[in-house]
Homo-oligomer: A and B are copies of this chain.
Amino acid sequence: MNIGTIIGYLAAFLTTIAFLPQTIKTIREKKAEGVSLIMYTIFNFGLLGWIIYGFYTGSLPIILANIITFIFAFIIWVLKLRYH
């Protein structure tokens, strides 16, 4: 694995795992006032697009990273709707 690929995987890991603390925070605090509903609505559609793109191009890293991010972002979106 060359340095470029390693940076790519590290970047994918960070931008994916970043949504875990937001998910935990929103679950714990049982409120999501500061979180933008429009952001998570658009973002989830975008992630679905990335997942389709991943299947289309046969890229497992794209599929996996975006499915994991989607799980976190979808939970945040549901909680935002619930605590609205």
Q: Which residues of A contact B (CB under 8 A)?
A: 3-4, 7-8, 10-22, 25-26, 29, 31-36, 38-40, 42-43, 45-50, 52-53, 56-57
Main DSSP-derived SS at the A contact region: helix
- Can you tell how many copies of this chain the complex includes? 2
Which of the residues B11, B13, B39, B57 comes within 8 Å of A22, measured between beta carbons?
B39
Question: In the complex the two chains form, is B39's CB within 8 Å of A21's CB?
Answer: yes
Question: In the complex the two chains form, is A57's CB within 8 Å of B14's CB?
Answer: no
Question: In the complex the two chains form, is B4's CB within 8 Å of A49's CB?
Answer: no
State the CA gap A8–B19 with chains docked (Å): 21
Closest chain B residue to A3, Cβ basis: B56
Closest chain B residue to A35, Cβ basis: B34
